[in-house]
């Protein structure tokens, strides 16, 4: 058995292209227990996601978590599932389509875009294969996580590296590590908030909730906590908010270990007790709405706030397909394409190069007969 994966078909003279992989976490194929069991099994076995020693974690995962959690998670997914499928996948596909359209408008040189998930489908492997079949010899990995964390951006990079280990003809690779303080990203968030406030009354407080990670990861050198706070500070500055008008917090705790604080549930419970309390919640770490924003924040969080005495709760949607976000994606990508994009590229120039390659191949082939 060959150790390396099969190479895609190749013809001398094929146009070399630039490829971009939009990487996201992933989603189950359907909102049912069977699909959730498969998805969670893959997700929770990632050493970057759960760092508990394997001999202990495998027992907990397979005999406790994967026995009980899939059914409960499936019910939650069913509440947000759309006629077109998972919200995260639907939004990510739109981003893929719109970004490709924008790149075609701004660059003469052919640039392909593919969506790849760390877990589930479409997989990172399918994204890489799709681009390589189109003769993408230079590939940029764009993890759609503004703030770097080993368990998110790091896992996306791992997913790609694992495939490349078994790739014979490895393409040139670049990665985007983070964009938590990129002016284009902050501006897209600002526009999103201001557009929401035009249609809805500005609240007493803007809650910026980020996905939580164990506090232990911060102590071990993960920069995620600091990058979340910097995003929050820059967005507040862009919106001209005073310190008491916004707060950064963290959601989605799992297990008994201490996670990054303050916890989202504690913050909104405290806000709910204030007289005439009104809050908006935005999740700046999510490029697409998903289970965590639509169910945990806008359903569970909203119920907790209103049941606790709060008067008004509104969730500001993720950037999704917003024009400002698609434009900012291109701005984030642009510096990473330097040296790859030829300012002098024309179709005629490319055709001449392809013709020369075919001519030389034919000459060598004829001599070998």
**139-24-234 Cα angle (round to 5):** 95
Q: Which residues contact 256 (CB under 8 A, 6 or more apart)?
A: none
Same domain, 231 and 174: no
Enter the tokens of residue 119.
Answer: 């877990």
What does the pLDDT look like over 136-160, one tens digit per residue?
A: 999 999 999 999 999 999 999 999 9
Residue 169: inside a domain: yes
Number of domains in the chain: 2
Same domain, 102 and 208: no
Residue range 116-134: average pLDDT?
Answer: 96
Residue 174: inside a domain: yes
pLDDT of residue 179: 98
Same domain, 167 and 213: no
What does the pLDDT look like over 44-55, one tens digit per residue?
A: 999 999 888 888
Q: What is the 3-state secondary structure (H, E, C) of the chain?
A: CCCCCCCCCCCCCCCCEEEEEEEEEEECCCCCHHHHHHHHHHHHCCCCCCCCCHHHHHHHHHHHHHHHHHHHHHHHHHHHCECCECHHHHHHHHHHHHHHHHHHHHCCCCEEEEEEEEEECCEHHHHHHHHHHCCEEEEEEEECCCCCCCCCHHHHHHHHHHHHCCCCCCCEEEECCCCCCCHHHHHHHHHHHHHHHHHCCCCCEEEEEEECCEHHHHHCCCCHHHHHHHHHHHHHHHCCCCHHHEEEEEECCCCCCCECCCEHHHHHHHHHCCCCCEEEEECCCCCCCCHHHHHHHHHHHHHHHHHCCCCEEEEECCCCCCHHHHHHHHHHHHHHHCCCCCCCCCHHHHHHHHHHHHHHHHHHHHHHC
Residue 164: inside a domain: yes
Residue 65, Cα to own-chain centre: how many angstroms? 25
253 or 127: which leads in pLDDT = 127
What does the pLDDT look like over 220-264, one tens digit per residue?
A: 999 999 999 999 999 999 999 999 999 999 998 877 789 999 999
Q: Last residue of some domain: 294, 316, 338?
A: 316
Residue 363: inside a domain: no
Residue range 15-40: average pLDDT?
Answer: 95
Residue 117: inside a domain: yes
Residue 172: inside a domain: yes
Same domain, 130 and 193: no
Same domain, 203 and 108: no
180 or 16: which leads in pLDDT = 180
- Mean pLDDT for the chain? 93
Q: Residue 82: pLDDT band by 50, 70, 90 thresholds?
A: very high
Same domain, 127 and 189: no
pLDDT of residue 365: 66
Residue range 56-84: average pLDDT?
Answer: 93
Q: Does position 369 have pLDDT exceeding 80, yes or no? A: no
Q: pTM score > 0.85 for this model?
A: yes
Residue 365: inside a domain: no
What does the pLDDT look like over 107-120, one tens digit per residue?
A: 999 999 999 999 99
Q: Residue 15: pLDDT band by 50, 70, 90 thresholds?
A: confident
CB-CB contact of 203 with 280 (8 Å): yes
Give the domain range for residue 149: 17-180+324-347
Closest to 323 measured CA to CA, from 180, 145, 184 = 184
Q: Does position 364 have pLDDT exceeding 80, yes or no? A: no
7 or 236: which leads in pLDDT = 236
pLDDT of residue 104: 95
Q: What percent of the chain has pLDDT over 70?
A: 98
What does the pLDDT look like over 269-326, one tens digit per residue?
A: 999 999 889 999 999 999 999 999 999 999 999 999 999 999 999 999 999 999 999 9
Q: Identify the CATH number of the domain in which residue 282 sits.
A: 3.40.50.1400
Same domain, 67 and 149: yes
Same domain, 203 and 163: no
Residue 77: inside a domain: yes
């Amino acid at each position: 058995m060959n150790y390396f994966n099969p190479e895609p078909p190749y013809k001398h003279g094929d146009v070399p292209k630039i490829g971009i992989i939009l990487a996201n976490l992933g989603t189950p194929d359907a909102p049912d227990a069977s699909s959730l069991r498969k998805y969670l099994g893959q997700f929770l076995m990632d050493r970057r996601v759960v760092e508990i020693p394997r001999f202990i974690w495998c027992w907990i995962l397979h005999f406790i978590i994967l026995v009980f959690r899939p059914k409960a998670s499936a019910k939650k997914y069913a509440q947000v599932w759309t006629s077109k499928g998972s919200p995260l996948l639907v939004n990510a596909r739109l981003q893929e389509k719109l970004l490709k359209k924008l790149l075609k408008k701004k660059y003469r040189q052919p640039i392909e875009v593919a969506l790849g998930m760390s877990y589930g489908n479409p997989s990172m492997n399918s994204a890489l294969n799709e681009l390589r079949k189109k003769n993408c010899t230079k590939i940029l990995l764009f993890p759609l996580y503004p703030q770097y964390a080993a368990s998110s951006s790091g896992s996306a990079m791992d997913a790609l590296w694992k495939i490349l280990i078994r790739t014979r003809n490895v393409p040139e690779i670049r990665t985007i590590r983070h964009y938590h303080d990129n002016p284009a990203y902050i501006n897209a968030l600002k526009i999103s908030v201001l557009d929401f406030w035009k249609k809805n009354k500005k609240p007493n407080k803007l809650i910026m909730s980020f996905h939580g990670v164990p506090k232990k990861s911060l102590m071990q050198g993960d920069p995620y906590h600091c990058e979340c706070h910097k995003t929050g500070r820059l967005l507040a500055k862009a919106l001209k908010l005073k310190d008491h008008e916004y707060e950064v917090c963290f959601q989605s705790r799992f297990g008994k270990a201490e996670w990054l604080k303050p916890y989202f549930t504690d913050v909104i419970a405290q806000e709910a007790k204030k007289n005439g309390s009104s809050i908006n919640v935005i999740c700046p770490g999510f490029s697409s709405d998903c289970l965590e924003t639509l169910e945990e924040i806008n359903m569970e969080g909203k119920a907790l706030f209103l049941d606790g005495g709060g008067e008004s709760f509104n969730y500001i949607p993720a950037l999704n397909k917003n024009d400002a976000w698609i434009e900012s994606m291109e701005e984030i990508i642009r510096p990473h394409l330097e040296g790859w994009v030829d300012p002098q590229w024309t179709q005629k120039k490319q055709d001449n190069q392809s013709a020369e390659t075919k001519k030389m191949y034919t000459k060598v082939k004829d001599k070998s007969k």
